[in-house]
Amino acid sequence: MRSVLLVSLLTLTQFEYIDGKSIHFYMLKMFYFSDLALPFKKLIDSGSSYLQNRGNSRSIYVDGAYSTIYLAGVTSTRDMYTNQSLVDDFDGQVRNIYARINQILVEQYNSHLHDLVATTAFITNGTYGKRFAELRKEIFNGHDFPTSALIVIVSLANEEMLVEIQSIAVIPSVINAQQNIYSNSFILFTSLFFIICV
């Protein structure tokens, strides 16, 4: 009877081994690392070679326990590291904007640029479009591109701004990880209590 219940416990808590010494180790592992075991999947549909050459993806499918990060539009007229002016420097503004987006993701959410799933870029001159696509492809190292929209507008909030980028990222959910810890711990202690009482 106890062997059957023990197997049930193994299945419920996803343990590989259990005995008098290792059960405490795996309990601790569950409490501290269960968030790593949460199911999370992101499938990128790269689409045509034309889209790939422009640093763009046709669609992205996300499933599982994840959180969504909505980033406000980012602009830049000064280099974030040197404070050097980027007025009339389209390449510099684009690079600096993506660097700032990455900095926000890293510092605030333990994330990074490749967690972006969608971006909307606004440029003030249609002739910048081809160059923007080249820069985007370079910045993402030629792979894992977010879905993207490029919109030409008359002007931005400041006439020195040549481009603004708004973005959305998805990351494994920390909140769901905590819920998973509480759920698994309840199952574990209930099963242990039942085993001891049998």
**Interval 1-32: pLDDT, tens:** 333 333 333 333 333 333 443 333 333 333 33
Q: Do 114 and 68 have their domain in common?
A: yes
Does the pLDDT value for residue 159 go beyond 90? yes
As for how many domains the chain has, the answer is 2
| Shared-domain flag, residues 67 and 143 | yes
% pLDDT > 70, the chain: 67
First to last CA, the chain: 8
Supply the pLDDT for residue 3. Answer: 37
Domain check: are 138 and 156 in the same one? yes
- 167 and 185: one domain? no
How is residue 22 annotated by DSSP? H
In CATH, what number is assigned to the domain containing residue 102?
3.30.1330.40
* Residues ≥6 apart with Cβ < 8 Å to 77: 85, 86, 87, 93, 158, 160, 161
Same domain, 53 and 115: yes
Same domain, 156 and 186: no
Assess whether 57 and 92 both reside in one domain: yes
Both 149 and 180 in a single domain?
Answer: no
Domain that holds residue 44: 40-172
Q: Whole-angstrom Cα distance, residue 103 to residue 107?
A: 6
Q: What is the mean pLDDT of the chain?
A: 77
d(CA 50, CA 44): 15
CB 125 within 8 A of CB 148: no
State whether 77 and 156 are in the same domain.
Answer: yes
